[in-house]
Structures are given as C-alpha cells and as structure tokens.
Amino acid sequence: MAKAVGIDLGTTNSVIAIMESGEPTVLVNSEGNRTTPSVVAFKDDNRLVGQVAKRQGVLNPRGTLFEVKRFIGRTWDEVKHEAERAPYEVVRGDDGGVRFVVGDKKYTPEEISAMVLRKMVDEASERVGEKITKAVITVPAYFNNSQREATQNAGKIAGLEVLRIVNEPTAASLAYGMDKKGSETVLVFDLGGGTFDVSVLEVGDGVFEVRSTSGDTHLGGSDMDHAVVDWMAEEFKKEYNVDLRKDKQALQRLIEAGEKAKIELSGLPETTISLPFIAMDPASNAPLYLEQKLTRSKFEELVAPLLQRLRQPVESALKDAKLDKGEINEIILVGGATRVPAVKRIVKELLGKDANQSVNPDEVVALGAAIQAGVLTGDVEDIVLLDVTPLSLGVETKGGVFTKLIERNTTVPVRKTETFTTAEHNQTGVEVHVLQGERAMAPDNKSLGRFKLEGLPPMPSGMPQIEITYDIDANGVLHVTAKEKSTGKAANITIQNTTTLGEDEVERMVQDASVHADEDRKAREVAEARNQLDSLRLQARKVVDEAEGAADEQKKPVEDAIAGAQKALDENADKERLDSASQALAQALQAFQQATASQQGGDDQGGDAQGGPGAGGAGESDGAGQEEDEDVIDADFKPAG
C-alpha cells in the first residue's frame, strides 16, 4: 500500500511526518527545517508559501496571509474580532463565510490551508521518493463539525485523500505512549498558536482511550503576541499621539516583534523591542522610532487574562473524566506556547506536578498523526485508538430547547436512539433540527442541518412515537434518522457540507489546484534556485572579504560573478538564468580558492627551504620526501543550499 503521512496543520507552523522502519519521523522541508510556517503570500504574480512568505510579510502586509486556521470552518459572525486585528483584508462572503481579499481576488481559508498542505506534501514526496496522496490531518480536539469538515476539504483541495481527522491531543498521546507498557493516565495540555485543548487519556499496552476533552478555540500563543502588540501601540500612542495599529505595515512589524519578545522572554528576564522608522511624525514629518523594554513580569501582567482562561478547560476535563488531579500520572505539553514559563507554572499549580519533558512540543502531534496513518495503512499493528466527540449533539424541541442525545466526551463510534412525540394535534409532519454545543437553548448552539419527516397519520399530540437515532462513525461523520413507529415512515440526513462551502465550490477549488499544480511546482523551483544563488552569493562575499593578501586581479572574476548573481536576483530572473548564475559563481569561487590556497602553500614551502621555522624544523628531512603538490589544498567547493 502507498505510504501515508501525518500532518499537524497548525495556526503558526505546520509539521509533516511519516513512518520509517517502524518509527515516526519528521520530514524536513526544502529549506532544511522541520517546521513550515503556515503562511501564504501573494506578491506580483507569484505565490509564496512557508518561510519565504513569512520573510516578506513586513513589506507586503496586505498580501501575506497567516493564522488562517482561526478562520477555517467558521462564519463571519464568529470571527469578527480576529478579522479586525489582521493586517490583511478579511471580509464576509456571500454565503456568510470568511474570505481573504488580495488584490482583485478572494480566497477561502480552505484554499489557503490547501496551499500549505500542498507545499509540505510535494516536498515530502521528493524526500521519500514516491508521490504521497494519503494523509491523516490533526485538528484541535474542540473543533466542531464544520471546522473538521473544512479541514478535510482543505486536504481534498490539496489533492489528498484524508484518511482520518484526528484530535491533536490524541495524536500527541500516540507519539508519547507508542512503546509504553502498562497503563498510565495522561493529561495532554495543548496550547498552540490559535487554539487550546486539554484531553485526559488512558494509555498503555497499545490502547489509547480518551476519557474526556475540553478547550477554547479562541485562545493561543498569538493572543499573547497581540497583547504585547496592544501594549506597544498604546505606549507609542501616549508618547507620539500616533496609533500604529492603523498602519498595516507598522501593524505587521508590531506582530512580528510581539512574537519575538514572547519567545525571548521564555528564556530571559527582559528584552528590548527596537523598531526604527516605524512611523512619521505628523507634525514635523520626521521619522519616529519605537524602543521599549519589556520584562517577563510585565509580559505576564499583560497576558494574565489569557492565562486565567487556561484554568477552566483543565478543571472541566478532570471533572468529565471523573478524576482527581492526583490520579494523573503524566502531563504532556504540546504547542510552542507551552514554553512560556507562566504557562508551566499554571500547569503545575493546577495539577500538582511538573510536566513530562520527553517530547518535542512542536513535533509530537505530527509524529502521532504519522502513527495513526501507519495504523490505517497497515504499517503499524497492535494499536487501538478510542476517541470521543468533543461537543454534545442533539435536537431542538418545543420552546427552542436543545435536547441532547449524545453527551460530549462520548466514545466514538456511537449510536443513540431517543423517542419523541408531536407538540400539536393532528400534526402530519415534523422538522428535525440537528444541533451541536453545550448551551441550553437551541439558537445558542451550532446548527448542523435540518430535515423533515412527512406523512404522519393525524393523531392527538403526544400520541405519535418518533424515534430519532444519532449515529457517529469512526471518522466523526454524523448520520441522523427519524422514524414514526406506527407507520414505519422514515427520513434521514448525513451531516455533511456544514461549512459555508458548497460541494460544487470545493470541486472547483480541487480542479483549480490541479490546473495550477505545474505552475506551483515551477514557482517552487524558482524560489529554491533563488535561495541557492543568494546563499552562494553571501558565501562568496565572505570568502573574498576574508582572503588576506589576495590580489585585486584574483578577486575580480569572483566580484564579477557576485555582481551577476545580484543582478539576476534583483531582476527576478527565471530558473535557467538563476542556475547559470549559480554555476558561474561556483566556478569562479572554486578557482579563486584554489589559487589563493596554492599561493599560501608556495609561501610556506619557500620559508622551509631557506631554513626558516617550518613545520618540520630547519633543514629536517621529515618533509624532504613529500611531493610538491601535497602542500596545495584542493578545495572541493559545493554551492550552499
């Protein structure tokens, strides 16, 4: 069977892994990194994905899309706050969903996520030497049905067969407990860039059973970044009466500086944020500078309201699992934001012990997803995963009440049947409104769909017996059936297309991605050629600058080649020209190194012949029998990249 990968599609960064020789392994990307920024940028006619997209974000804030996961599967009304603070343009779609506007084009969150997935899978295919078409993709445990389906659609648009959508904490437990013997009760504390999950699991002897899950899909490390952004902006406004958040480019610089400060304060007691030329003084038209010192204690004060929100989901998960904190054997930290010292302190305070440090919080989810992919393709045996539904499912009953049929944290797959009746006399039909959530009233929960059961025989209210069955399969797909007992009449619905995207729109995006696959491949090859040439240019410049005693005529061929490389980069040359410039620079640099090494060797040899202080001593016979060219360094130069 063809290989399948596990993908952690993150808010900030994404990771891809595969089973190799029975072990889950992270696959590095084309830049040689183990994580890929979940960033897509549109610049001129080019589309950039990953690190290269992130690097140019400050100069292209309106065309650089990041934190897209916070919008996927959601309606406009659910994400107004996130939309308002983004430096790029987010608008309401005609269908009530979210669209990103770049130039004269609009993109859905699923399309942008698919571009990140496509880059990762294409590069992984090159690494393993075969085309990858199947994947297990992880999502926050607290994602609702529409967010999960939207993630699955992103995989479909990217050309993938999504074998399973797996909860991130569950995947982390798979990676942690794959080789564990005996039974442990594990709490996974997953604080990523945009979401927060807590899951309690029983792990051991190949069985992974989720006992409970809780979370907050509007809480993550990027919220900490924005707390720092707001503080910087307010301090700057007090001093200069300029609100930097109204300038998209300045806002992008603030966001990057906020993230950098958060990371630095995880290891340092204080950091200095310095942003020159951040704005212009409206009165004097002189450039303004931002320079602020941020201590760890001040940072913790800024994010205190966010840290407080971490408590309730932990307490809720323990309560739903019917466990005391003393019964938790191990705590697994997942997500980059768990490196914040204040977060670790809260975990210890809530659970009474330090977290296990044996897993990499950035990679453990993707490794677990790779294990699940191995289980589904037959590469991994003797592992059983029992997951739960994160939110309650039910129907709307008289008075707009939400009546639950399947409680949250019920192990899936599951089937549940309840009997209902009519509210009015001689009612010949009923409408079944399928809902997901935890609120008491139907309008406050997520609507998943509606269907009608018609043709009921006229009877007094309370007489008809209508059985409603909820059936959730292993993939989390919900099937609902309504049946009137006396007549046997039945109607049903499969809860799909709960996102704002219709099936025809998804298919259009799949076709569009397929049509542009060759174009994307060529764009990636050009980007890689640019990176290689730029790295080689910098390396050549360093070699020439550090070559003491080299004559100008020796340096000139390399200087000319460096200038040619710079010109090709500045003019956005095509791949053929970039490759040609790389080859010319590599040859010129190799000849320069050989010439300067030969010159150095000749100088050393001459010193020894005159009885000077050579390596073998004056006139000693140790070096007399050596061949002349052994003093020459034959540099085998290979271009960087």
Concatenating the DSSP letter of every residue in 55-116 gives HTTTT-GGGEE--GGGTTT--GGGSHHHHHH-SSEEEE-TTSSEEEEETTEEE-HHHHHHHH
Same domain, 233 and 143: no
pLDDT at residue 488 is higher than 80: yes
Would residue 77 count as lying in a domain?
yes
Would residue 637 count as lying in a domain?
no
Same domain, 228 and 333: no
Structure tokens at 323: 């466990």
Of the candidates 452, 470, 503, which is a domain's last residue?
Answer: 503
Would residue 396 count as lying in a domain?
yes
Instruction: Categorize the per-residue pLDDT at 453 as very low, low, confident or very high, splitting at 50, 70 and 90.
Output: confident
Would residue 111 count as lying in a domain?
yes
Instruction: Categorize the per-residue pLDDT at 637 as very low, low, confident or very high, splitting at 50, 70 and 90.
Output: very low
Query: CA 495, CA 520: separation in Å to the nearest integer?
Result: 34
Computed over every residue of the chain, the mean pLDDT equals 87
| Least confidently predicted of 298-312, 363-377, 543-557 | 543-557
Same domain, 319 and 375: yes
Q: Do residues 67 and 100 lie in contact, with contact meaning Cβ atoms separated by under 8 Å?
A: no
pLDDT at residue 190 is higher than 90: yes
What is the percent of the chain with per-residue pLDDT over 90, rounded to a whole number?
Answer: 59
The number of domains in the chain is: 4
Of the candidates 358, 386, 414, which is a domain's last residue?
Answer: 386
Query: Which of 464, 432, 466, 435 minimizes the C-alpha distance to 448?
Result: 435
Query: CA 474, CA 147: separation in Å to the nearest integer?
Result: 17
DSSP-assigned letters across all residues of 502-531: -HHHHHHHHHHHHHTHHHHHHHHHHHHHHH
Summarize pLDDT for 124-135 with one digit per residue, the tens: 999 999 999 999
DSSP-assigned letters across all residues of 156-194: HHTT-EEEEEEEHHHHHHHHHHTT--S-EEEEEEEE-SS
- Supply the pTM of this predicted model: 0.75
Range 270-288 average pLDDT: 93
> C-alpha distances in angstroms, 160 versus 118, 156, 369?
9, 5, 15
Full residue range of the structural domain in which residue 584 is found:
517-631
Place of tokens 């690494």: 127
> C-alpha distances in angstroms, 490 versus 241, 409, 417?
67, 29, 14
Query: CA 354, CA 332: separation in Å to the nearest integer?
Result: 10
Look up residue 620 and give its amino acid.
E
Query: Which of 545, 635, 637, 552 minimizes the C-alpha distance to 586?
Result: 637
DSSP type of residue 356: B
Place of tokens 């899936």: 412
Same domain, 121 and 215: yes
The CA-based dihedral angle spanning residues 538, 543, 549, 553, taken in that order and rounded to the nearest 10 degrees: -60
pLDDT at residue 629 is higher than 60: no
pLDDT at residue 385 is higher than 80: yes
Q: Which pLDDT does position 608 carry in this prediction?
A: 44
Q: Do residues 3 and 130 lie in contact, with contact meaning Cβ atoms separated by under 8 Å?
A: yes
SS3 228: helix
Structure tokens at 207: 């069985």
Q: Do residues 464 and 422 lie in contact, with contact meaning Cβ atoms separated by under 8 Å?
A: yes
Q: What is the radius of gyration, based on Cα positions, of the chain?
A: 30
Would residue 242 count as lying in a domain?
yes
pLDDT at residue 634 is higher than 50: no
Query: CA 56, CA 402: separation in Å to the nearest integer?
Result: 48
Range 289-306 average pLDDT: 96
| Least confidently predicted of 380-389, 436-445, 624-633 | 624-633
Q: Which residues contact 352 (CB under 8 A, 6 or more apart)?
A: 325, 326
Query: CA 128, CA 160: separation in Å to the nearest integer?
Result: 16
Same domain, 565 and 487: no
Same domain, 352 and 250: no
Same domain, 291 and 347: no
Structure tokens at 45: 């006619």
Instruction: Categorize the per-residue pLDDT at 601 as very low, low, confident or very high, splitting at 50, 70 and 90.
Output: low
Query: CA 23, CA 429: separation in Å to the nearest integer?
Result: 56
Q: Which pLDDT does position 630 carry in this prediction?
A: 40
Instruction: Categorize the per-residue pLDDT at 417 as very low, low, confident or very high, splitting at 50, 70 and 90.
Output: very high
Which residues belong to the active site?
Answer: 8, 69, 168, 190
pLDDT at residue 352 is higher than 90: yes
Q: Which pLDDT does position 498 carry in this prediction?
A: 53
Give me the phi and psi of 438, to 5 degrees please.
Answer: -125, 0
Give me the phi and psi of 183, to 5 degrees please.
Answer: -115, 140
Range 469-479 average pLDDT: 82
Place of tokens 């010159």: 599
Query: How many residues comprise the chain?
Result: 641
Residue 496: CATH number of its domain = 2.60.34.10
Structure tokens at 457: 């025989």
Burial of 514 (0-12, 13-18, 19+ CB in 10 A): exposed
Query: CA 559, CA 195: separation in Å to the nearest integer?
Result: 50
Instruction: Categorize the per-residue pLDDT at 335 as very low, low, confident or very high, splitting at 50, 70 and 90.
Output: very high
Range 89-118 average pLDDT: 94
Of the candidates 458, 473, 503, which is a domain's last residue?
Answer: 503
SS3 354: coil
Range 157-186 average pLDDT: 89
Give the CA diameter of the chain. Answer: 121
Query: CA 637, CA 635: separation in Å to the nearest integer?
Result: 6
Same domain, 423 and 474: yes
Summarize pLDDT for 550-597 with one digit per residue, the tens: 888 888 998 999 999 999 998 888 889 999 999 999 999 898 888 887
> C-alpha distances in angstroms, 391 versus 57, 62, 432?
37, 36, 19
What is the chain's percent helix, strand, coil content, to nearest 5? 40, 25, 35
Range 283-306 average pLDDT: 95
Would residue 508 count as lying in a domain?
no
Query: Which of 178, 468, 200 minimizes the C-alpha distance to 318?
Result: 200
Q: Which pLDDT does position 516 carry in this prediction?
A: 62
Residue 175: CATH number of its domain = 3.30.420.40
What is the percent of the chain with per-residue pLDDT over 70, rounded to a whole number?
Answer: 88
DSSP type of residue 457: P
Same domain, 72 and 195: yes
Q: Which pLDDT does position 609 carry in this prediction?
A: 39
Of 455 and 625, the one with more pLDDT: 455
Give me the phi and psi of 149, to 5 degrees please.
Answer: -65, -35
Range 109-120 average pLDDT: 96
Cα three-residue angle 365-370-374, rounded to 5 degrees: 145
Q: Which pLDDT does position 83 carry in this prediction?
A: 94
Same domain, 427 and 558: no
Structure tokens at 582: 């790389």
Residue 296: CATH number of its domain = 3.90.640.10
Element (H, E) at 123: helix 109-128
Range 85-98 average pLDDT: 93
Would residue 640 count as lying in a domain?
no
pLDDT at residue 497 is higher than 60: no
Q: Do residues 425 and 384 lie in contact, with contact meaning Cβ atoms separated by under 8 Å?
A: no
Query: CA 181, CA 203: separation in Å to the nearest integer?
Result: 9
Range 619-633 average pLDDT: 40
Same domain, 51 and 193: yes
Element (H, E) at 134: strand 134-139
Look up residue 463 and give its amino acid.
M
Q: Which pLDDT does position 610 carry in this prediction?
A: 41
Q: Do residues 166 and 369 lie in contact, with contact meaning Cβ atoms separated by under 8 Å?
A: yes
Query: CA 600, CA 627: separation in Å to the nearest integer?
Result: 16
Same domain, 71 and 154: yes
Query: Which of 394, 518, 376 minimizes the C-alpha distance to 468?
Result: 394
Range ranked top by mean pLDDT from 215-229, 416-430, 449-463, 504-518: 215-229
Would residue 565 count as lying in a domain?
yes
Q: Which pLDDT does position 623 carry in this prediction?
A: 40
Structure tokens at 101: 């506007």
Of 90 and 594, the one with more pLDDT: 90
Q: Do residues 588 and 560 lie in contact, with contact meaning Cβ atoms separated by under 8 Å?
A: yes
